[in-house]
Structure 1
Amino acid sequence: MTRDDTGAWAAERAAFGEIAARLGRDEELWTDFEALCRHGGRMAGTASERAAQDWCERQLSAFGPVARESTPYAGWRCDHAVLTHLPVGGQLEAVPLLGTAFTPDAGIELPVLDLGRGTPEMIAAAGDGVRGHAVMVRHEYPFSTQTVHRRVKLAAAQQAGAAALLVVQPEAGIGPVSGSSGRAGGPGIPAMGISAEAGLALRQPGARVHLRIVGADLPGACTDTLVLDLPAGQAARPDERVVLSAHIDGHPLAESALDNATGVAAAIALARAFAPRMHAMRRGLTVCLFSAEEWALNGSREWLAALPEARRAAMALNVNLDSLAGSPRLTALTSGFERLGEFARSGASLAGGALGVHLPLMSNSDHANFAACGIPALRLIAGFDEPDSALRLLLTPADTRALVDENHLRGATTSAAGVLWHALRADNLAGLRNGARPEARA
């Protein structure tokens, strides 16, 4: 079905109205969101993550059997992390990047080199001045066409001979910034996120720090992927599946509310709304709640790699929900699939919502791993290219439920429902597979 068929499209909008009304009445969307926030940051490998997974399993089990599929990831534990300003001796606001390399038990003392934004070009231009230093670079708004990701800066600093990396959160009064190092147990240098105030202190000439990060890599770590399968009715393509995904895990600094209690609460609400209507769908719905997403997308990558080929081949589309509030504007990141943007816009229009589209692959959530398998995949996200939105506070102690406007979350969930309805009901999704990117780099 296409939007060119005006009468059929009007009928489709009318049929979708029941789903939209159901979501409009769904008080559990907000109470589920708040319940997830009460579990804390949900960092993979912690009691907070496990409790949140148990809670999500109970919520999803109301709609059908839920499988807990064991998923390996490059685990890591930090027992002690301190950054000290020398010779003052004062402790600076800092957190280790997830999975970062450790220091010797006694720590290391290093001179600080401030490279401002710290792009790879700036690091290369500093030449031998980088070697043996704690290189300080600025954290950037992560959802922009101009962003240089922290792991790109970390890799450039490590290659240039830096002894450590410090990533400065630019906004005062917020605290340090977290994020993944992407090391996955391999070689690396110690890396920490620090507050704006700590960065200001270390911009003084001759600044030195003592850095100590002690813990252990956990190469045998496993988490769970929660999987709910809702079969289609006796329609045209009941063996095809649309995968609706979100990630449960977050960071220990706050409640991981925007990132990603919003997406998980929305995914559960969509399962609740669609489960009674699956008899009218042309393809089945698989709801996947991943963990270890914050570990350079490790969880979904390992889960997809372990699937039988037939199970992957049945996946016609992935709709990934990650950071759905913080701005009223919603964007589909369409992973290089050229026809997927217009398809997603058509679906969102069922709900009366506008949807921005960004075509190039962005490896910033689990959709990228589906795209790497050749599966059309999009991420729905609020605040794309809006550096002043609340999403600037992701990965910081400010990512709490106070940042989330219920109307933004409800509107994004209804738009996601339109995309999902269109995907489950469309005559044919084969045409979406053009323009796939061959590899997703986390």
Structure 2
Amino acid sequence: MKQDAAGTATMAQATFEQVRAALNNDAKLWQDFLSICRTGGRLAGSDSEAAALALCEAALSDGRHTVHCDPTRYKGWRCNHIALRLADSGELLDAAPLLGAAFTPKEGLVLDVVDLGRGTLEQIHAAGAQLRGKAVLVEHEYPFSSETIHRRRKLAAIQEAGAAAFLIVQKEPGIGPVSGSSGRAGAPGIPSVGISLESARRLLESGEPLSIELHGEDIPDAQTHTLRIELPGQTDETIVLSAHLDGHSLAESALDNATGVAAALALARAYAPIMAHMRRSLTVCLFSAEEWALRGSHEWLQALAPESKARMSMNLNLDSLSGSDNLTVLSSGFPVLGQLAQAAAKRVDVQLGHHVPLMSNSDHANFAAQGIPAMRLIAGFNEPDSDLKYLLTRADTSRLAKEAQLRSATQVAASILWDALTAEDLSHLKHPLPAEAALS
């Protein structure tokens, strides 16, 4: 029977309302979030990560669709010993190694310290030769801001200046050091360590040199898995829904990114029963090794056949969905993509912020690099006082998250997926900004 436009819209809205109702009634959303947090920090290569992979594989198994465990290689690393001390008194400082950091000699290093404050690239270049052979201290910045200077950019500049070690200080009191990736991936580098605010103050007040010992091993052939489920629609044109399940060992990696994984699992449950009515197919990917400079999704995409990537119309990446009531879409230099997301959010009565320039701060960046329109849904963008300031620290536990925020973000993601899966044509999304305009 032929439907007029109004009738078709009514039918579509009713079907979406069924998805929305299924999510509202999905008690497993919050239960999954808490269960993922209970596995621990989920550092790639750890027992905690293995437990989370098993938990999520079981959650994706619905008896009708195969859960694929795609082997994904990355350059791994393991820290066996770290000790940061005041060199003269031997006082131990609270610190955590950055993932993949270069190791010290067995006897360690004793270095004078240069404090560069924020550590802008201009400050680093101005200091020049003063940094050679020193341990250089800079501030960790709120990671989700249009003005952020990423730690790896600071580290690269400091290493190029000839520094002997890199220290990055967490500015929030009472929560210990900050973690994060060095991005070294087995290449030449310098010892790189996160340090607590209190320890940084003690170090600078003491005037003593710094003793640093960092021992471990590089694991060039490390392997993890990408969990993947294929939900066929009416065509093989595909929307990819993604989230990363790995994290850091300091806490539970709750906001970053048990929230995104729990939402992805709930969306798979809500959409699986109706995919036969969707124009496009849905691929759900749970990546690991994201915290290792996005290596997991990079390697997974590199291994795909060109025709598989050509079928991908869009990537919706869910990463850090609680910690603030405000949500933003990062549209990776594809402005029309962000407009689609904003319109979809209005359907569920949410005002969605939009940041257009590419930000290489989660797995969506690897899809965008392949020319696939890709967005990240995130809470707390440009809100440095939000709870997302506690990411990569011991404070990132389930206590930070709010169920209402996670449910709201999941509804926004569901609405974006609805438009992506049902739109007649998505070719207009593939019009990025000029490359020079897409830099963050």
Aligned counterparts, 1:267-416, within 5 A: 267-416=264-413
Structure 2 residue aligned with 1:127 = 128
Contact 1:247–1:293 (8 Å) recurs in 2: yes
For residues 305 and 182 of structure 2, what CA distance do their matches in structure 1 show?
30
Structure 1 residue aligned with 2:242 = 245
Does residue 116 (structure 1) correspond to residue 117 (structure 2)? The answer is yes
For residues 349 and 280 of structure 1, what CA distance do their matches in structure 2 show?
23
Q: Given residue 125 of structure 2, which amino acid in structure 1 is its aligned partner? A: A
For residues 171 and 13 of structure 1, what CA distance do their matches in structure 2 show?
45
Q: Given residue 209 of structure 2, which amino acid in structure 1 is its aligned partner? A: R
For residues 212 and 240 of structure 1, what CA distance do their matches in structure 2 show?
52
For residues 282 and 85 of structure 1, what CA distance do their matches in structure 2 show?
63
TM-superposed CA distance for 1:9, in Å, is 4.9
Structure 2 residue aligned with 1:155 = 156
TM-superposed CA distance for 1:13, in Å, is 3.1
Cα RMSD after superposing both structures: 1.6
Q: Given residue 94 of structure 1, which amino acid in structure 2 is its aligned partner? A: A
Identical-residue share of aligned pairs (%)? 58
Structure 1 residue aligned with 2:178 = 177
Structure 1 residue aligned with 2:38 = 38
For residues 11 and 360 of structure 1, what CA distance do their matches in structure 2 show?
36
Structure 1 residue aligned with 2:426 = 429
For residues 211 and 80 of structure 2, what CA distance do their matches in structure 1 show?
17
Partner of 2:112, secondary structure, is strand
For residues 90 and 240 of structure 2, what CA distance do their matches in structure 1 show?
52
Contact 1:93–1:194 (8 Å) recurs in 2: yes
Q: Given residue 285 of structure 2, which amino acid in structure 1 is its aligned partner? A: C
Give ranges in structure 1 of 5+ residues lacking alignment: none
For residues 390 and 210 of structure 2, what CA distance do their matches in structure 1 show?
26
Q: Given residue 170 of structure 1, which amino acid in structure 2 is its aligned partner? A: K
TM-superposed CA distance for 1:352, in Å, is 2.1
Q: Normalized against structure 2, the TM-score is what? A: 0.96
Q: Given residue 51 of structure 2, which amino acid in structure 1 is its aligned partner? A: A
Q: Given residue 69 of structure 2, which amino acid in structure 1 is its aligned partner? A: R
Does residue 69 (structure 1) correspond to residue 70 (structure 2)? The answer is yes
For residues 139 and 179 of structure 1, what CA distance do their matches in structure 2 show?
10
For residues 156 and 35 of structure 1, what CA distance do their matches in structure 2 show?
40
For residues 150 and 37 of structure 2, what CA distance do their matches in structure 1 show?
26
Partner of 2:205, secondary structure, is coil
For residues 17 and 277 of structure 1, what CA distance do their matches in structure 2 show?
12
For residues 25 and 169 of structure 2, what CA distance do their matches in structure 1 show?
42
Structure 2 residue aligned with 1:48 = 48
- Select between 33-42 and 10-19 the one with higher mean Cα deviation: 10-19
Partner of 1:49, secondary structure, is helix
Structure 2 residue aligned with 1:202 = 203
Structure 2 residue aligned with 1:216 = 217
Tell me: CA distance 1:309–1:437, structure 2 relative to 1, closer, same or farther (3 Å).
Answer: farther
Contact 2:86–2:210 (8 Å) recurs in 1: yes
Structure 2 residue aligned with 1:27 = 27
Q: Given residue 392 of structure 1, which amino acid in structure 2 is its aligned partner? A: K
* 1:332-353 Cα shifts (integer Å, max 9, x gaps): 0000012111111122222222
Tell me: CA distance 1:205–1:130, structure 2 relative to 1, closer, same or farther (3 Å).
Answer: farther
Q: Given residue 80 of structure 1, which amino acid in structure 2 is its aligned partner? A: H
For residues 437 and 85 of structure 1, what CA distance do their matches in structure 2 show?
49
For residues 186 and 434 of structure 2, what CA distance do their matches in structure 1 show?
27
TM-superposed CA distance for 1:7, in Å, is 7.2
For residues 49 and 329 of structure 2, what CA distance do their matches in structure 1 show?
27
For residues 393 and 88 of structure 1, what CA distance do their matches in structure 2 show?
31
TM-superposed CA distance for 1:128, in Å, is 1.4
For residues 439 and 261 of structure 2, what CA distance do their matches in structure 1 show?
24
For residues 224 and 52 of structure 1, what CA distance do their matches in structure 2 show?
11
Contact 1:19–1:274 (8 Å) recurs in 2: yes
Structure 2 residue aligned with 1:225 = 226
Q: Given residue 20 of structure 1, which amino acid in structure 2 is its aligned partner? A: R
For residues 441 and 264 of structure 1, what CA distance do their matches in structure 2 show?
28
TM-superposed CA distance for 1:205, in Å, is 6.4
For residues 350 and 73 of structure 1, what CA distance do their matches in structure 2 show?
40
* 1:64-119 Cα shifts (integer Å, max 9, x gaps): 10111101101001100110112121110100000000000111000111000011
Give ranges in structure 2 of 5+ residues lacking alignment: none
Contact 1:374–1:437 (8 Å) recurs in 2: no
Partner of 1:204, secondary structure, is helix
For residues 348 and 89 of structure 2, what CA distance do their matches in structure 1 show?
58
Structure 2 residue aligned with 1:18 = 18
* 1:308-350 Cα shifts (integer Å, max 9, x gaps): 1111111110000000000011110000012111111122222
Alignment: residue pair count: 434
Partner of 2:147, secondary structure, is coil
For residues 188 and 202 of structure 1, what CA distance do their matches in structure 2 show?
23
- Select between 41-50 and 60-69 the one with higher mean Cα deviation: 60-69
For residues 159 and 256 of structure 1, what CA distance do their matches in structure 2 show?
31
For residues 131 and 13 of structure 1, what CA distance do their matches in structure 2 show?
63
